[in-house]
Structure 1
Amino acid sequence: MADKETDEPKKKGGLVKIIGLVFGGLLLIGVGLGAGFFMFGGQGLTPSAEIEQIIERKLKESGQLPEEDAEVAEDAEPALQKKETPSVDTFVTSYFEFDGNFTSNLRESRKFLQLGVGISTQYDETVVANVELHQLALRSEILGTVSDFTEEDISGKEGRDRLAAKMVEAINAKLEVLEGFGGIDSVHFTSFVLQ
């Protein structure tokens, strides 16, 4: 029996030694990781940022990138260049849109053109007031102008621009007869449907 009693303390002592060695090993690993993080991990660079730094440094050494002044921080953004705005006299543009759509047949065609029309002027409110006052007469001028165009005449952007220019001429001519002054700068199409 004395042999059994002496075996138990040896087992306990062996188990305590193994636990001590494992705990000591873990403690050494933790201290090593902590020291490594303290020394190298505080920079906060990701691997890709670190690679970019290395490439940038190599390019500067080879002369392919200009050297930065020591005073300028690496993270500082470059100063933005400003362009000066040219001094130009600008005028306020006033707009007016005719109510409803204009529908007219086209010359030599069975198709109809349906338009939404607006005008713009850089003159004072008198021109817009004149357009509002004489809407009925101006609607007639617009419809007459549209009916002089063929389907081919209004195709494409150039065709629409020619139609708009003819409308400006017709509206201004009618306003000159009615009020003594036209003043319309542009005609704008808010809708343009060929049916």
Structure 2
Amino acid sequence: MADATEDAPKEPGIVSKIIKLIVRLVIAAILLGVGFAGGWFYFANPMSPAQNALSLLAPEPETEGEAAEGEGEGEGDGLPERIPRELPETAMFETSYYQMEEPLTTNLMGSRRYMQVGIGMSTQYGEQVMTNVETHKVAIRSDILNIMGDFSEETVSDAAGRDELALAIKNVVNARLEGLEGFGGVEDVFFTSFVLQ
């Protein structure tokens, strides 16, 4: 029976368990110390990476007198002084815009498809032109629908065709305003939406 107890595996002693625990604690303390040191080095740096790069590129003043002169000129932070550009003093005209409330929809010439566009207009002749457009919007909508129906699907499918359509709309709107008010004044036509279906 004595032989049976000698063959049984022996449990590790308390001393070996304590040694393993101390080794693990020492390794954990080292890892925490390395993590803390790395974080401190990364986050405690008072200079941003951009300032770090600029400090490497910009030469330091050699004497205290030069540093004092630089501070007096607004360069105390090591960055060059910023000077704003002056705006040209040319006369600028105010642009007035008008957008039709509802999109216009019409069939395309020679096609079963239709086109729906939202239209905006602009002028630099003054607010009166856009007031005239608002006053005569029923007649202008009718004229625009008539001119839109003269365009084919192939024509308006690319940017050049859409520019051609915008020019035709501008011309028909100005013709209507000249007939009713004696002056057109619409300078640009914009498509705020453009759908072919």
Task: Quickly name the TM-score band, shorter chain normalised.
Answer: 0.5 to 0.7
Return 5+ residue gaps in structure 2 as ranges: 1-43
Change (3 A) 1:139 1:75: same
1:47 CA displacement = 11
Distance 1:80 1:99, change over 3 A: same
- CA distance, structure 2, for counterparts of residue 158 and residue 75 of structure 1: 53
Please name the residue that 1:174 is paired with: 176
Deviation at 1:136, TM superposition (A): 1.1
1:161-189, Cα deviation, whole Å (9 max, x unpaired): 22111111110011111111101011111
Matched residues in 2 for 1:194 and 1:136: separation?
A: 23
* Corresponding residue of 1:191: 193
In the alignment, the residues of structure 2 paired with residue 88 and residue 159 of structure 1 have an alpha-carbon distance, to the nearest angstrom, of 35
Contact 2:108–2:115 (8 Å) recurs in 1: yes
SS of structure 2 residue aligned to 1:79:
coil
Q: Give a deviation string over 1:78-99, Cα, whole Å, max 9, x none.
A: 1113222222211111111112
Letter in 1 for 2:106: S
TM-score, length-normalised on structure 1?
A: 0.63
Counterpart of 1:103?
A: 105
Structure 1 partner of 2:136: 134
Counterpart residue number, 2:114: 112
Gaps of 5+ in 1: 1-43, 57-64
Deviation, structure 1 residue 158: 2.5
Equivalenced residue count is: 141
- Counting aligned pairs with the same residue, the percent is 44
Structure 1 moving runs of 4+ over 6 Å: 46-49
Which of structures 1 and 2 has the bigger CA Rg? 1
> Which residue, 99, 122, 126 being the options, matches 1:124?
126
TM-score by length of 2: 0.62
Q: Secondary structure at the match of 1:100?
A: coil
> Could you tell me whether the CA contact under 8 Å between 2:58 and 2:78 is conserved in 1?
no
Q: 1:48 to 1:91 in 2, by over 3 A?
A: closer
1:82-93 paired onto structure 2 within 5 Å: 82-93=84-95
User: How far did residue 45 of structure 1 move?
Assistant: 4.8
